[in-house]
Structure 1
């Protein structure tokens, strides 16, 4: 195993940061300073130390997190609370979020120390489906749905979006559905919304452009006021997780991702070492 990979999976830091540590001479293998991140080591037989402290290889870590609105998808931020601030009882040194959710968006987010996992789920060429629940002001006509399903322009100099899936759950007027929407904190209460049309539903996409769901719906005249990601690659957000809570991704869920995507062969490597603690 490469030394930098070993250190990243031991939560010493991200793959990028541990390479710096190695080059700075902060890592010792079997009493010898190593300055080449790509050097091969035996994770069982070799003794690795970082800043004179022995490093224990924990293996790859995968967490499912129910992101609440109001925190940002980042490792750290000087002004705002981040998703990693919720991981109080976990060594977060090597963890990072897989993809992004907007600050005001809730729902499913994976965190890991596995770069391959991140690549396989977020790489556009993999076409991994991500399903979102939304409430929006506006209405969707048959032609609007067709545009969403076949590809739509959401910005200048951008290609059409890949085909999406749209499922409408409820349509009506704001005064009829406001009690179900529970979005008071997201809207301007001074605005007269009594006769405003509203809609809820699911939009499933296989890309990850910036603000994509909001921009797609805006392109057909719908203004999103609530958004929640409920699944990635067929893995649903655990309903038992309250906002701000997390748990380890199970082996069965990993296997389901492998079977559904057919593109995550690297997870089947014996050195994957999925940590279930």
Structure 2
């Protein structure tokens, strides 16, 4: 939310009401700003103003940042008619303007970052910033040294004109590797493994930039980021 902000928008956002109901409350004189009743919908609210709605003070909580241990079966979307979303796992106030900084597929597990800070998420997700994203990958076929070399040098994805950027690819076992990439193309990890003649059967993201999935978070749990984690 940017300030100054219209009063009806402020009430709608923080009280999680349709704009029409926020305006009805303002018209009923249910809203005061700095102890003065205000009835103008377009009254400009500043960040430091004290706004009381039906006897309760509304506070803009500022920029917030969370990490979530995403389970399989959840989609990275604010709303979805067919599947549960990662936002169903959060119990936080005023989530209307939150978004996901780097989505995961429905069957992919691991680290998801959720914030209302657009500039911060852009630094995370924009390819020009080259923030590494690290995945644990389980494959259908055994990994070959040739495939690992190809991943490290860049591979040709289907319907792409240029090779992927060189990845960090370390074999863990015959059917698993740790893969770090600095891009975020659609289904990139799965397409990269397909390009070297293999198939992903399980995919788990464990790190984005300097942010490592907290080992104490069980699947479906989340926590706020620390100040150090926010400073990407």
Quickly name the TM-score band, shorter chain normalised: 0.7 to 0.9
Q: How many equivalent residue pairs?
A: 219
Counting only pairs closer than 5 Å after superposition, residues 85-124 of structure 1 correspond to structure 2 as 85-124=88-127
List runs of 5+ in structure 2 lacking aligned partners: none
CA 1:120–1:52 in structure 2 vs 1: closer, same or farther (change >3 Å)? farther
Whether 2:56 is the aligned partner of 1:63: answer: no
- The aligned counterpart of 2:47 is 43
Pairing 1:213–2:189 present = yes
User: Larger deviation: 238-247 or 79-88?
Assistant: 79-88
Match of 1:125 among 103, 124, 128: 128
Q: Distance in 2 between the 1:123 and 1:5 partners?
A: 31
1:204 match: 180
The answer to whether the Cα contact below 8 Å between 1:139 and 1:221 also exists between their aligned partners in 2 is no
Which residue of 2 is the match for residue 2 of structure 1? Answer: 3
Query: Is 1:242 aligned to 2:218, yes or no?
Result: yes
RMSD over aligned CA atoms reads: 3.4
TM-superposed CA distance for 1:50, in Å, is 8.2
Q: C-alpha offsets along residues 210-264 of structure 1, whole Å, 9 cap, x if unaligned?
A: 1100110111111110000000002110000000000010112223x2xxxxxxx
Separation in structure 1 between the aligned mates of residue 92 and residue 164 of structure 2, nearest angstrom: 40
The offset of 1:163, in angstroms, is 1.2
Match of 1:152 in 2: 155
CA offset digits 1:166-197 (Å, max 9, x no partner)? 000001xxxxxxxxxxxxxxxxxxxxxxxxxx
Secondary structure of 2:13's aligned partner: coil
**Does structure 2 conserve the Cα–Cα contact (< 8 Å) formed by 1:230 and 1:237?**
yes
- Inter-CA distance 167–10: structure 2 relative to 1 (3 Å threshold): farther
Give the corresponding residue for 1:233: 209
- Contact 1:9/1:113, CA 8 A, preserved across alignment: no
More helix by share: 1
Q: Distance in 2 between the 1:208 and 1:6 partners?
A: 38
SS in 2 for 1:208: coil
Shift of 1:90: 4.4
Aligned partners of 2:6 and 2:42 also within 8 Å: no
1:33 aligned counterpart, secondary structure: coil
Q: Hey, what does 2:41 align to over in structure 1?
A: 33
1:119 and 1:243 map into 2 onto residues whose CA distance is 26
Contact 1:73 1:102 in 2 (8 A): yes
